Structure 1
Amino acid sequence: MAKSLAKRKAEADAPRQEKVSAMEQSKRFFRVLQKPKVEERKAYRPRGYRTRKFGTIVFWIMFSFVFLVFFFSTLNPSKQEEVSAGAVEQTPTLNPATTTTAVQYAENFAKEYFTWKPGSEALAKRQKRLAPYLAEGIDPHAGLEPTSLKTTSVLLSSEIANIEEKGDNKAYVTLKVYQKIGIPKEVVTTDEKTKKETTTTKYESKEVSKFFVVPVAYAQNYGIYDLPKYTYINPQTTVVATNQTTGLQDVVESEVKQNIRNFLDTFFGSYAADPADKLAYLLEDEDHPSGLNKRMNFVNVKNSQVYQSETLETYIVFATVVLEDPVSEDRFVTNYRLDIKQKDGRYVVSKIDQQ
């Protein structure tokens, strides 16, 4: 049957389908499968991003560690307290009974202690003065027997002689006290008209010294915790004078000795009289930049010893110098150690009295 005119026209207008073999279809199919993938674009990272990220990680690790330490320490506080207590025990503490304040307290007590007169009224006043110092239960007269008292007493002065610790807050403060005692003496006088004899008591003064031990304690405030005691301390010192020349080598050259000896006269003359700015030409010791500032006059160098120092042009000199008080003209002998060096063809003192 013949096709209609419309169908024939439609077929003519439609694109003709390309005839493709089976082999070509297979190739096209595999080409689709092997289509290259689009490369993924990496995310943008600003400069320093990795460093900041690493720092953040380290921060949180450290924070976690601190948190864990705190957490476990709160669960077991006894160990931490033991460590803290051990640290406190290792810290040395000063005994308050050995301080200058305690010494002053002992001296104040000694002043009241050694002030007395015979008679009930005078002794009652003394007892009242001592009361603030004495601990409860101690004799209110602090050991003085009032019934047999006949003398008068005044404390002239006192000086510290020794301090001996007797615990964490106690000490024996030993004072050397200088006391003026009034010793009673009966004097009989006769009236020339009536021939009547009158007996009066006069006090002869006598100055004495003794070593007085004051038991001082501290518990929120100072106090005398026991009766005072007496002792004796040998005034002769046991300190041995040191020989500063031990191990030093004597300078052999007589010319050097004489030059330094002449320099000593110049130096000590300037040291006694010149101001610091002028003295600086001869003295370079930063610890002792000033001299005597005319408080003493230089008389002469009594003797000197010159020793070689570390180098050939440095010397250690021991000089015995005579000084004079400008007002009284009294003279005094004293010793100096000088470290002397040559500088720009002259001598200067680099150190004075260096030990």
Structure 2
Amino acid sequence: MSFIQELREEFSNKTKKPKELKKSTFQKVFRKVFWILLIFLVTKSVAGDVFKKEKEMEIPEIKIEQQKPAAIAASFTKEYLTYDIQKSLEQVKDYEKRVKTFSADYIKLPDLTSAKANSEVKNVFVYDIERINEDQYNVFTKADVLYSFPKGEKKKSSIYLKVPVGGKDGNFIVEDTPIMLPPPEKINMEYERFNQGEELYITEANKVKEIMENFFTTYCSGKPTEISYYLSNGKPTKGFEGRFTFLNIRDFRVYDLKVNNKFKAIAFVRLRDSISNKEFLQNYSIDLIKKDGRWYVEKLNLRGGNINEKYKEVKENGK
């Protein structure tokens, strides 16, 4: 029964208990108005907080319109390159059904009667998307394929495809046969050694190195509260918790950035996988700050070279 219907019924019966009805009706109306106002205020407050937080969040740029064509192309690639040596008509129909789920019915599929191995796609990656117009995309996919031969031999290989995807009313489908592509050409990248600010002399650098060795030892095996001892913000921070073991620092350099007691350390760190015992080399660029005679870690960064950063002096009063 709605609020209006309740009021109508109460007022239609007012001749039976006029005084009691008047009081009861007023109380009910007051309670309902009170709850409506309360819900409105709470909803407004919560919504305000939510929208405020959304504005403060840093959301990376993601092209939403590319997600559907990318998903269709990836699904198509997996089914298109997954097949068995054809032994029956049912297998042929199963392959066609799987592929046509993501492609137009008029597309001609390959004849698999000549296949000498079963093919299974293990992974599919979309590594590029080319927009033709509002409803057409060329999606570049890479498929990691495992081939199984009748005598038990197995072979791994990768296939690159350029998949034509078309859309209508927000839905997409593979609109023509894909074409095979050669692997993307490997580019030549020059490595530029970090050389900003003024490099510390080896005596001072070794003192900082010893602190960083203690830090990485704690970062690999210590508790969050122990790690916080080395951090400029002093906040408990989760580390590897024994998953990796710190071995040593093979190469270490420190640069005075001449800005607000800030320094940059370049550390080539050796870690060991505690499960497989394999060693890994990690190149870190570490933001350091020196306060009251102590060294603190501000941030661990990727890359020991090719670092393009500019440092601006920030005064204590924020101006």
Please state which band the TM-score falls in when normalised by the shorter chain: 0.5 to 0.7
5+ residue gaps, structure 1, are: 1-91, 185-201
Mapping of residues 141-180 of structure 1, within 5 Å: 141=109, 144-145=110-111, 149-157=114-122, 158-180=124-146
Q: How does 1:184-195 map to 2 (within 5 A)?
A: none
Per-residue CA deviation, residues 152-208 of structure 1 (Å, 9 max, x unaligned), is 432232322322222212212222223345668xxxxxxxxxxxxxxxxx7865444
Q: CA separation in 2, counterparts of 1:208 and 1:351? A: 39
1:226 to 176, 188, 213: 176
Cα distance, 1:350 vs structure 2: 2.7
Cα distance between partner residues in 1 of 2:139 and 2:149:
28
In the alignment, the residues of structure 1 paired with residue 177 and residue 138 of structure 2 have an alpha-carbon distance, to the nearest angstrom, of 11
Other-structure match for 2:26:
none
With normalisation by structure 2, the TM-score equals: 0.64
Q: How many residues align?
A: 239
**C-alpha contact 2:288 2:298 (8 A) present in aligned 1:** yes
Structure 2: how far apart are the matches of 1:320 and 1:241? 18
Closer/same/farther in 2, CA of residues 352 and 145 from structure 1, 3 Å limit: closer
The equivalent position to 1:122 in structure 2, one of 83, 91, 104, is: 91
Contact kept, 8 Å, 2:225 with 2:235, in 1: the verdict is no
Q: Deviations over 1:8-46 (max 9, x none)?
A: xxxxxxxxxxxxxxxxxxxxxxxxxxxxxxxxxxxxxxx
CA distance in 2, matches of 1:223, 1:267: 52
Q: For 1:128, give the aligned amino acid.
A: K
CA contact (8 A) 2:196 2:255 kept: no
Q: Sort the Cα spacing of 1:229 and 1:348 in 2 relative to 1 into closer, same or farther, 3 A.
A: same
**Which residue matches 1:49?**
none
For residues 182 and 283 of structure 1, do their structure 2 counterparts lie closer, same or farther at Cα, with a shift above 3 Å needed?
A: closer
Query: Do the aligned residues in 2 keep the contact of 1:117 with 1:123 (CA within 8 Å)?
Result: no
Question: How far apart, in 1, do the equivalents of 2:220 and 2:149 lie?
Answer: 51
Whether the 8 Å CA contact 2:148–2:154 is kept in 1: the answer is: yes
- Equivalence for 1:191: none
1:233 alignment partner AA: P
Q: Give 1:291 shift.
A: 2.8
Percent identity of paired positions between Structure 1 and Structure 2: 21
Is 1:108 matched up with 2:57?
no
Residues 1-355 of structure 1 aligned to structure 2 (within 5 Å): 94=63, 96=65, 98-99=66-67, 101-114=68-81, 115-118=83-86, 119-139=88-108, 141=109, 144-145=110-111, 149-157=114-122, 158-181=124-147, 206-220=155-169, 221-234=171-184, 236-238=186-188, 240=189, 243=192, 245-252=194-201, 254-284=202-232, 289-311=237-259, 313-353=261-301
Corresponding residue number in structure 2 for 1:187? none
> In 2 relative to 1, CA 279–241 (structure 1 residues): closer, same or farther, beyond 3 Å?
farther
Task: State the one-letter code of the partner of 2:80.
Answer: Y
C-alpha distance in 2 between matches for 1:279 and 1:352: 13
Cα pair 1:298 1:322 within 8 Å, conserved: yes
Q: Deviation string for 1:192-242 (max 9, x for gaps)?
A: xxxxxxxxxx7865444321222112223221111121111335245x355
Q: What is the deviation of 1:303?
A: 1.4
> Residue type matched to 1:308 in 2?
D
Q: Which runs of 5+ in 2 are unaligned?
A: 1-60, 303-308, 310-319
Higher CA-based Rg: 1
Equivalent residue of 1:264, what SS? helix
Asked whether the equivalents of residues 273 and 291 of structure 1 are also in contact (C-alpha less than 8 Å), the reply is: yes
Closer/same/farther in 2, CA of residues 340 and 208 from structure 1, 3 Å limit: closer
Structure 2 counterpart of 1:246, which letter?
N
Give the RMSD, CA atoms, in angstroms: 3.2
Provide closer, same or farther for how the CA distance between residues 241 and 353 of structure 1 changes in structure 2, counting only shifts above 3 A: farther
Specify whether residues 163 and 152 from structure 1 end up closer, same or farther in structure 2 by C-alpha distance, changes over 3 A only. Answer: same
1:255–1:234 Cα change, 3 Å:
same
> Larger relative CO (CA 8 A, sep 6+): 1 or 2?
2
Distance 1:246 1:338 in 2: 14
Q: Within 1, Cα distance between the matches of 2:62 and 2:135?
A: 10
Paired with 1:166 and 1:95, the residues of 2 have a C-alpha distance of 16
Kept in 1: contact 2:228–2:234 (CA 8 A): no
Cα distance in 1 between the residues matched to 2:107 and 2:256: 65
Asked if the contact 1:275–1:293 (Cα under 8 Å) also holds between the matched residues in 2, the reply is yes
Q: In the aligned structure 2, how far is the partner of 1:121 from the partner of 1:214?
A: 27
- Change in Cα spacing, 1:135 to 1:244, as seen in structure 2 (3 Å) is same
Change (3 A) 1:351 1:108: closer
